[in-house]
Structure 1
Amino acid sequence: MKYMRLLREFLRACLVEEFEYRANFAANLLSTIFWLAMAVLTVQLYFYRTQEIGGWNFYEVLVLLGIFNAIHGFIEFFLQPNMARLVGHIRKGTLDFVLTKPVDSQFYISFRHLVFWRLADVALGLGLVAYALFQLDRLPTVTQLLLFLIVFAASLVVVYALWMGMMIFSFWAVKVDNLSFLFSSFFETARFPVTVYKGLLRFALTYVFPIAFITTTPAAALIGRLTVWQAAGSVLVAVICFGLSRWFWKFALRFYTSASS
């Protein structure tokens, strides 16, 4: 309950800050709509020459694209602003102020700054999912919706753990901005089903850098291609990734040199 109250205060403070610049929300919403439209157009160009991509038809890929946009919105909502500040805290020595607070430092670093207008990406992405499912004439069953919610939450945990793990390297190498670009580049591959990729690349995107669990698995849940065992596998991957990121955070704190030392 302590952390729930703290998260509520973070939400309130950031929401007040966002309302100070309401025009920004409208401008950013238009920008989001534009880039989502461009992404849909890009997918449509692929289907001028073929009926399927990796065994997925046009509207099934739109389901995946909507989930990709929603996850990207969550990344920009809480992950991107906080991970950027983590590097600054370590570089300037101001992580001292976080470590001395009576709250878990990883929780504080992860959720202190939130960008509310990015939730428009989430809403538009889920709207695209609903549109694509309507065009497919597929109403997900209760079981499919439940599996989707489980694997979607698991995908957010995987994204968080991967990005947190890369940013933790800033305890040893202060300039880790290139790792953010590397993550973004890999994340872009999640715009398409993992079955599009072949050979070693598919293996890497499934087991080394688990992009398959971020968008392909949630989309498969909605269109009836996911089994309970596959969903359980996604949850297991999420638990392992989070556990490793938690261990890595505690390990890295031992090497932190504060501003006073």
Structure 2
Amino acid sequence: MQYRADFLVQGAMSLYWLGWNLVPLLVLFDHRASVAGWSFEAALVVMANFVILRGILEGAINPSLGAVVEQIRSGAFDYTLLRPADAQFLVSTARFAPWRALDVLGGLALLVYALVRLGHVPDLGQLAAGLVLLGAGLVLMYALWLIVVAAAFWVVRLDNLAFLLSSVFDAARWPAAVFRGTWRVIFTFVLPLAVMTTMPAEALLGRLDLTTGLAAVAGAAVAAAIARAIWRLALRNYTSASS
């Protein structure tokens, strides 16, 4: 009975959070048909990708990697290193918040709604490209969070940095074309939010060229390799807090 009540509460919170995220979009498109070449319905596709990735972030990445900082601080990370498995895999799969799956489902429902409103049915190629690029966005997001967590091996107090990164990720709800100048460069190459949400949307809508898509996937692979290298370097420099 308690699990049923928890499910209802979490479901209500997921719906509330989804609606709250839509408010800025509704306000922006209230008096205009398009923004930076994006219609309201097309922007909803970007928002849907954001909701899906945010659900995965809060359901799988944050609970696991967030716990590592406290383990490093207390010395409990020693026990992870003693286990006969890859430490990165262990810390990345240690904890989950299963209720966040409701956010992912909400994002999928929003995606279907947006495509119906657009009258667009992605063909197999567009669907495959969209899924691959959303996967690339997930890899990029994980890599960024892993790098932040790896920094905890040198700088123990990382609460503000993790909060800042989470706040910056909120910008991924907007199509990348909304940002101009320096911000456009930052959100494409430094903190590649465009790869996470905008490019998967463009792929689904048939707007993304093959070269850009391949570059995005390659960039995600490079980011994952860099994050892995930083993590391994951090492990070599780890000194137990209990020693």
TM-score by length of 1: 0.90
| Cross-structure match for 1:202 | 184
CA distance in 2, matches of 1:25, 1:221: 34
TM-fit CA distance, 1:96: 0.8
| Cross-structure match for 1:58 | 40
Matched, 1:240 2:202: no
Matched, 1:150 2:132: yes
> Matches of residues 76-225 of structure 1 in structure 2 within 5 Å?
76-225=58-207
The AA in structure 2 aligned to 1:148 is G
Tell me the SS of whatever aligns to 2:35: coil
Tell me the SS of whatever aligns to 1:174: coil
The AA in structure 2 aligned to 1:45 is V
| Cross-structure match for 1:42 | 24
Given that residues 73 and 241 in structure 2 are in contact (C-alpha distance below 8 angstroms), is that contact kept between their aligned partners in structure 1? Answer: no
CA distance in 1, matches of 2:146, 2:38: 32
Higher mean C-alpha deviation, range 197-206 or range 32-41: 32-41
Tell me the SS of whatever aligns to 2:65: helix
CA distance in 1, matches of 2:95, 2:3: 16
Given that residues 78 and 111 in structure 1 are in contact (C-alpha distance below 8 angstroms), is that contact kept between their aligned partners in structure 2? Answer: yes
Higher mean C-alpha deviation, range 155-164 or range 20-29: 20-29
CA distance in 2, matches of 1:237, 1:179: 23
TM-fit CA distance, 1:37: 1.4
CA distance in 1, matches of 2:99, 2:30: 34
Given that residues 168 and 252 in structure 1 are in contact (C-alpha distance below 8 angstroms), is that contact kept between their aligned partners in structure 2? Answer: yes
CA distance in 2, matches of 1:259, 1:42: 45
Tell me the SS of whatever aligns to 1:215: helix
CA distance in 2, matches of 1:117, 1:102: 30
Given that residues 150 and 231 in structure 1 are in contact (C-alpha distance below 8 angstroms), is that contact kept between their aligned partners in structure 2? Answer: no
CA change 1:92–1:21 in 2 (3 A) is farther
TM-fit CA distance, 1:24: 2.0
TM-fit CA distance, 1:128: 0.3
Candidates 48, 54, 57, aligned match of 1:75? 57
CA distance in 1, matches of 2:170, 2:94: 26
The AA in structure 2 aligned to 1:106 is Q
Given that residues 45 and 111 in structure 2 are in contact (C-alpha distance below 8 angstroms), is that contact kept between their aligned partners in structure 1? Answer: yes
TM-fit CA distance, 1:189: 0.7
Tell me the SS of whatever aligns to 1:214: helix
TM-score by length of 2: 0.97
The AA in structure 1 aligned to 2:185 is F
Identity %: 38
Name structure 2 gaps, 5 residues minimum: none
TM-fit CA distance, 1:22: 4.0
